[in-house]
Each structure stands twice: as C-alpha cells, then as structure tokens.
C-alpha cells in the first residue's frame, strides 16, 4: 500500500499541474526519467497518469491476491472494503496537499470548466449567503466558475428533485443542501420521492443557529413579551418561517409544544423573504437564522429576542437563549453542498479536498466570522452520516406532532 500511496501522490500532483520536474525516480518496478511542465501546461500529464495507473494496477493485484485469499466470503468483502477506503483516503489526502501547496495557483477540476449550483430558494436567503461566502474561494481552489440557478418552491424540493433525478452525474452539477429541510420534505410528504440515498454528500459548511427577530418598532422588547402576547391571543401572533418543513417551521412547533402556546405560522420561500416580511412589519416575528439576519440586527432594523443555542453567542452577548427561559429548544439550519449519486470518484475527491482546504484558509475563516456564519465543515462520509442521523431525529419529531399539524 505504501507504493500505491507514493504513486497516487505523484498522480495527483501531475494532474493538478504542480509537478514541475521529476528526474530518475523509481516507483515499484517502473522507472521514469524526465517529466517537465512547460508554459503552464503539464505536457506529461497523460503519460505519467498512464504509467502510475499501471503501477497501481500491479500493486493492487499483489494486495488483492494476498488479502482476498480468505476462506470466508465475509472476510473477503471486509478486506475489499478496507482496501477501497484506504485508496480513497490516500487520494483525497494527496489532493488536499496539492491544493494547499498550490498557494495562489489554481488546480484543474477534472469534471467540467464550470459548475452549476442549484439553489432551492430565492436569491438573498440563507443558501445564497452560503454561496457568496464559499464560491469565490472554491473558484480559486478548483479553477472553475460557479453558476447559481435559483429554483424556489416546495421548500427546496423542486431543486433537490432536479438534482437527484434530472441532473447529469458527471460532476458538473451540485446543489446547496439545507438540513434538516432536505429530509423533512419527504418525511412529511409522501408525494416527494427523492431521498438522501440519491445524493453524493460533498461537504456541510455552516450550521446557522436559529433566532427570533421582530421589527424595530415592534411592541415586543423581550421574548417574554412575545410569549405573553401569544398566551393572550392564541393562534393570532403571526410568525414567519422559511417554509413548511424547514428548521424554522419545526422550531415554532417545538416552542409550541414546550409552552402550550399557539402561533399563526406564515411560511415563505426561504429565510430571505421571511426576514423581509419582518422588516416590513408584515408579521409579528420571524423565526430565522443568524447568518441571514445579522446585518439587519447590526443596522437596528430587526431586534433579536432569543437564540436557539445552548449558550449565548459571543457576537450577541445580550441575547438570551431559549434554554435560559426554561424552554428546551436548540435548533438551526445546516447548509452544505451535495452532488447527484455516483459522480466520478475523481470529481468527488477534488470537491471534498477543496472544502477541506477551506478549514485551513485564514481569509475564509475571517470572512465567515465577519458575516456571523458559524463554520461546521464536515466532508464526504462524515456529512453523509450527519444527514442520516438528522433524518432519524426528525422522523421521530414528525411522528410525534404530525396529527396536531395536520388538523
């Protein structure tokens, strides 16, 4: 496996155009003499890739013959899975190293010259905020242009149905995937027929805390004022959310269940329109996400009443948590990127490596902090596991409340 690791490192470096000069090196039983990168074009890229593919093939045959010579079928399957995961880990780690070594240089994304990004909500919402944060950095890392396509409707389900069932799986199309909304769409509605099993999870980037905001001229100065009004006028206090099935929608339900109160829930096509309704005093309050409304809070046009976090936020030290009010609600929206199922492994690994590189990018970290975006970068299989766990959690929540919601 060490020989394969060395071979893959050289393969990645050659592919990305970072291998300038290698002379007289030997890997396994194959010798090469001279590799040159001229005029910004890796003239030996195809040659070295073919050579190293042969090295990997030979080495894999030796390993497979040794590791798969097991008497038990389950042992052979386990060995095969271990080898596959080791090779994928080596390739991703090598690609990440190449990206980080490149500095200002651009890597060459293998799948396309541009990447279409499907967004399930209108421009200006949480998805768009994430796109504006990440894509300038990804453009530099991958050397591709990002084309955002806004497809609002059905709480993101139209865009995610297109991603899973109507988009090419060649690495040229991705979507911003918002959880838990990605899963609650089909948990709540049998007519929605996509699932997370039809995705290639690339990376979660942020987990945006939930927050309650009211217009600047609102009579509600504290969250206690808002709850007291809901108690006095059951079902009449209007609360905007980003759409039925979204984290804001569920946060409202969770507060209703914890307090015995009832709000008039007003769904919009995303966090942006929900915040706009509060800005225009069209609703009494908006249950939203911090990253989307922080600028309005800073300007004074929206007043924060409470956050749905376990502890107070450093950037809003005077805003209490719901837990402080003995209301056990901790919630938010996680946003990341996914592709259709079965995209090429090379494209998947390149995309994952780019997001991993963002973890070490000081400028990216600073920009996220300035925009009040709480980074929570989880890539590849870890992001997939996060989706699966969240799916199970919200299946339980929906089973508990669906009869009341559907009345």
Q: Give the Cα-Cα-Cα angle 265, 266, 267 (nearest 5 degrees).
A: 115
Give the three-class secondary structure for 289: strand
**Would you say how long the chain is, in residues?**
407
CB atoms within 10 A of CB 276: 19
pLDDT tier for residue 8 given thresholds of 50, 70 and 90? very low
The domain limits of the chain are: 2-102, 114-407
Q: What is the pLDDT of residue 46?
A: 42
Give the whole-angstrom CA distance, residue 113 versus residue 104.
18
* Between residues 380 and 22, the one the model is more confident about: 380
Fold of 114-407: D-Maltodextrin-Binding Protein; domain 2 (3.40.190)
Residue 47 vs residue 249, higher pLDDT: 249
> How much is the average pLDDT of 96-102?
50
Nearest to 211 by CA among 311, 325, 140, 304: 304
At residue 89 the predicted structure's pLDDT band, cuts being 50, 70 and 90, is low
pTM: 0.66
Q: Is residue 119 very low, low, confident or very high in pLDDT (cuts 50, 70, 90)?
A: very high
Tell me the pLDDT band of 108, cut-offs 50, 70 and 90. confident
CA distance 236 to 233: 6
CA distance 220 to 117: 39
Model pLDDT, residue 178: 94
Predicted pLDDT at 95? 52
Mean local confidence (pLDDT), 324-330 = 93
Mean pLDDT of 322-326: 95
Q: Which residues make Cβ contacts (< 8 Å) with residue 137, sequence separation at least 6?
A: 358, 361, 363, 364
β-sheet bridge partners, residue 284: none
């Amino acid at each position: 496996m060490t020989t394969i690791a060395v071979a893959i490192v050289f393969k990645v470096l050659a592919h990305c155009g970072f291998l300038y000069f290698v002379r007289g090196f030997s890997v396994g039983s194959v010798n090469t003499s001279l590799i040159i990168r001229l005029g910004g074009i890796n003239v030996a890229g195809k040659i070295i890739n073919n050579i190293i593919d042969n090295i990997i093939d030979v080495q894999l045959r030796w390993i497979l013959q040794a590791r798969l010579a097991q008497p038990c079928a389950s042992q052979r399957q386990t060995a095969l899975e271990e080898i596959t995961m080791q090779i994928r880990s080596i390739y991703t780690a090598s690609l990440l190293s190449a990206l980080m070594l490149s500095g200002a240089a651009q890597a060459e994304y293998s799948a396309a010259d541009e990447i279409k990004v499907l967004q399930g909500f209108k421009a200006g919402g949480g998805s768009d905020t994430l796109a504006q944060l990440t894509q300038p950095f990804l453009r530099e890392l991958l050397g591709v242009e990002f084309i955002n396509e806004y497809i609002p409707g059905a709480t993101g389900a139209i865009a995610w149905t297109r991603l899973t069932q109507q988009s090419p799986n060649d690495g040229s199309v991705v979507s911003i995937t918002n959880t838990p909304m990605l899963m609650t769409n089909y948990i709540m509605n049998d007519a929605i027929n996509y699932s997370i099993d039809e995705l290639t999870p690339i990376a979660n980037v942020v987990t945006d805390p939930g927050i309650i905001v009211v217009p600047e001229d609102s009579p509600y100065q504290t969250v206690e004022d808002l709850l007291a009004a809901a108690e006095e006028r059951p079902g009449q206090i209007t609360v905007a959310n980003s759409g039925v099935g979204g984290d804001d929608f569920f946060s409202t339900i969770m507060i209703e269940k914890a307090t015995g109160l009832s709000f008039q829930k007003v769904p919009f096509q995303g966090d942006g329109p929900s915040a706009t309704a509060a800005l225009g005093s069209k609703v009494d309050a908006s249950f939203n996400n911090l990253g989307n409304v922080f600028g309005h809070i800073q300007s004074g046009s929206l007043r924060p009443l409470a956050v749905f976090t376990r502890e107070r936020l450093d950037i809003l030290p005077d805003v209490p948590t719901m837990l402080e009010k003995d209301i056990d609600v901790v919630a938010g929206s996680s946003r990341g990127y996914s592709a259709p199922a079965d995209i090429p492994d090379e494209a998947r690994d390149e995309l994952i490596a780019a997001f991993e590189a963002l973890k070490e990018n000081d400028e990216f970290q600073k920009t996220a902090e300035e925009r009040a975006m709480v980074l929570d970068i989880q890539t590849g299989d870890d992001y997939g596991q996060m989706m699966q766990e969240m799916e199970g959690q919200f299946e339980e929540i929906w089973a508990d409340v669906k009869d009341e919601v559907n009345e």
